Amino acid sequence: MLAAPAQAQEQVALQLNWKHQFQFAGYYAAVEKGFYHDAGFSVILLEASEGVDPISEVLAGHAQYGVGASELALRRAQGQPIVVLAVILQHSPLALIARGETAQSIHELAGKRVMLMPHETELYAYLQREGMSRTGIVEVPHSFNAEDLIKGRVAAVSGYSTDEPYELRLAGLRYTVLSPRSSGIDFYGDALFTTEAQVRKDRARVEAFRRASLRGWQYAMQHPTELAELIRARYSERKSAAHLLFEYEELRRLMQPDLVEIGHSNPGRWEHIAAVYSEVGMLQKGRSLEGFAFDPMPDVDFTWLYRSFFAAVLALLSIVGLAWYQWRQLAQIRILKTRLEEQAIRDPLTGLYNRRFLAEAAASRIELAHRNGTPLCIVLIDIDHFKQVNDEYGHEVGDQVLVAFARLLQQRLRRSDIVCRFGGEEFLLLVDPCAADAVQAILHDLLDQFRALAFGVGRDAFTGRTFSAGVAVLAEDADDFEALAKIADQRMYRAKSTGRARVCGRAG
């Protein structure tokens, strides 16, 4: 008997969205360890060329698969036939990296030279949400050379928290990482994608490529030193082994592989990303992402039913009708799930963030403030005599007081500050970066404005509402959120016990 010929390998190209580095370690592992070969693929990995958009390269057919980020949702909502297969980074590393003496907040980049790439839409959304348009900075082409930032030729550059900080630390440059997460923009990072044409051509082959890629990522995250050596030996010596392992550690933090399965993609979160793009005016509202997230289940072929008799045709129509109804129901469930995810971190009365959101956000803000040495204040506010308002005027007027005070906080504080309804008539503020004396000045202004607000109707209308506040300062008072919140609470009660309508900090 003659031996069967070896299975032919399908030649495909994977377009990376940057130069060879640990950012793509999973794909190198899938090649080196034979995961692609076992799935029937011979894979070419294409570096991104400067000035070339990786997504457009895939759409043009120069590669069958590609690596992109949050801009994939924007492009799909604009009508481009993109299908996301797997999310590799649960949180985006994309940020603006500024010279330490130049900017402690994104607003300090106004009028300054900033290097950006045209497809970094997440950063444009960050600027818009902070009230800064692209014309508010001097946008210059990216040189991809850290020396431009080190020498002060630009005030900031776009980059990855996994990459550029390593070079800047070696150069001894004090820098600030300005992340979109500080404005509540927590997008996905790198994701594997393809086109609708590839899915229609052979859904099973697309699923095989996806699975082989994820096997590669699982191996890479378990063998970082081996992959760093492989990258330098086979792909690029541009980075040292130490630099590649620095990149691995940051990637692991953003991937969270111990908490989230590698490749996990939530359609509701993609819908939220599109909603943020709509909010900042980068996308028309109501655009659909239907079909964007890959479904590995094969299409069901009903053509054989058309050859049967009339009763089978009726049965087919019934099945189609049921499938359409279920699709509608699933679409409604997806929408509801997205709303519930947002509601889960919002107070239903005031619309402010709640304690659930605060727990994670405060930890990341404090970590960033520690790293950059920037001032951060925790403020706890309690509305004075609030029970008296409910007892004398009713809970409807009490709710009116809470909503008006929440609106006042949102108007007076910056978009980057975190404002949370902590419980009942208590509110917690996380103001960063801002020194204690500036925070106390803001609170005294708020106290005057709150006093002037009128509540109730007609002869029952009243003014003169006040609050008591306590301020705790990072590093000066404590180094973690729980301790800072406790100190702010103690100082708030000191303000109440000494007459109310007061702001108490370290000085009393």
Residues of the chain with pLDDT under 50: 1-6, 299-306
Q: What is the pLDDT of residue 330?
A: 74
- Find out whether 427 and 448 touch, Cβ atoms under 8 Å: no
Number of H helices, E strands in the chain: 18, 15
Q: What percent of the chain has pLDDT over 70?
A: 91
Sorted by sequence, the CB contacts under 8 Å of residue 55 that are 6+ apart come out as: 66, 68, 71, 72, 75, 80, 82, 119, 193
Judge contact between 56 and 82, C-beta under 8 A: no
Which pLDDT belongs to residue 5? 42
CA dihedral 113, 117, 123, 124 (to 10 degrees): 80
User: For the purposes of burial, counting CB atoms within 10 Å of the CB of 426, is it exposed (0-12), middle (13-18) or buried (19 or more)?
Assistant: middle
In the block, residue with structure tokens 């709640």: 354
Per residue in 288-323, pLDDT (tens digit) is 899 999 987 654 444 444 455 666 667 777 788 777
pLDDT value of position 339? 60
Q: What confidence score (pLDDT) does residue 4 get?
A: 38
Query: How many CB atoms lie under 10 A from the CB of residue 360?
Result: 11
Cis bond leading into 433, ω under 30°? yes
Report the C-alpha gap between 466 and 386 in whole angstroms.
Answer: 9
Structural contact between residues 453 and 404, judged by C-beta atoms closer than 8 angstroms: yes
Neighbours of 286 (CB within 10 A): 8
Q: What is the reported pTM?
A: 0.60
Question: What are φ and ψ of residue 43, in 5° steps?
Answer: -110, 130
**Contact predicate 110/102, CB 8 Å:** no
* pLDDT at 210 (0 to 100): 97
3-state SS of the chain: helix, strand, coil percent to 5? 50, 15, 35
Q: Angle 267-279/121-129 helices, nearest 10 degrees?
A: 60
CA atoms lying within 13 Å on the CB side of residue 394: 7
How many residues belong to the chain?
508
Return the pLDDT at 459. 67
The angle formed by the CA atoms of residues 238, 57 and 37, to the nearest 5 degrees, is 70
